[in-house]
Amino acid sequence: MMTWLQDYGLVLDVAICVLLLTTIGFAAVLNRKLSELRAARGEMEKLVADFAAATDKAENGLQALRDSSQDVGEGLAKKVDDACRLADEMAFLLKKGNEIADRLEVSIAASRKHDREEPKAAAGLTKQSLHRAPMSITKMERKAMQDDPAAPVSEPAKPSNGIAKLAKRKLSRSDSELMRTLQAMR
């Protein structure tokens, strides 16, 4: 039996040698892979450092964006408040302008009524009173009066624009300024 063990001992030694050689081969391959991993580790560290820098840059950009959007938002809110205030002021001025326009309209109507009554009194003008006729009689009316002294004088020509007529009357300073503004707008 010993011979048998000796024969098998040699086979066992050969098997162990083959296993040791395989282990050495795997160790060599593993060592090479670990060296590649160590070399890649430097690149990986550089990649992680670049990623961290990019992340910091993005965070700083976001913070700057938040700050600027907050500033713009505050500026916009201020402008909206100013616009609302101006809209309120414009509404007030429009209301006051309408009130003044209503007063002017009443005044113009009263002036027109007064002007209608004046020509009726002047209807009895003759050739003798022509030289004393008011300046509102046109040249054509004067010529007609000279040709036919018995013909009554027609109503003086009224300006088509009541604003111009009202401007000839004595007005307060603010009414005069309003009249000038209205005339300039036409």
Q: 126, 109, 99: which is closest to 165 by C-alpha?
A: 109
d(CA 104, CA 111): 10
pLDDT tens track for 118-162? 666 555 544 444 444 444 445 555 555 555 544 444 444 444 455
Q: Is residue 92 part of a domain?
A: yes
Q: Is residue 173 part of a domain?
A: yes
Q: What is the residue range of 138's domain?
A: 79-186
Helices (H) and strands (E) in the chain, counts: 4, 0
What token pair was written down for 14? Answer: 């050969």
For residue 128, give every residue at least 6 positions away whose Cβ sits within 8 Å of its Cβ, in sequence order, or none.
Answer: 149
Helix%, strand%, coil% for the chain, nearest 5: 85, 0, 15
118 with 135: CB under 8 angstroms? no
Q: Is residue 86 part of a domain?
A: yes
CB atoms within 10 A of CB 137: 19
How much is the pTM? 0.35
Q: Is residue 7 part of a domain?
A: no
The count of residues in the chain is: 186
Q: Which residue has the tokens 């009414």?
A: 175
Q: Is residue 20 part of a domain?
A: no
pLDDT tens track for 91-109? 899 999 999 988 888 888 8
Q: Is residue 40 part of a domain?
A: no
Q: Is residue 119 part of a domain?
A: yes
Q: How many structural domains does the chain have?
A: 1
Q: Is residue 64 part of a domain?
A: no
| Mean pLDDT across 24-30 | 97
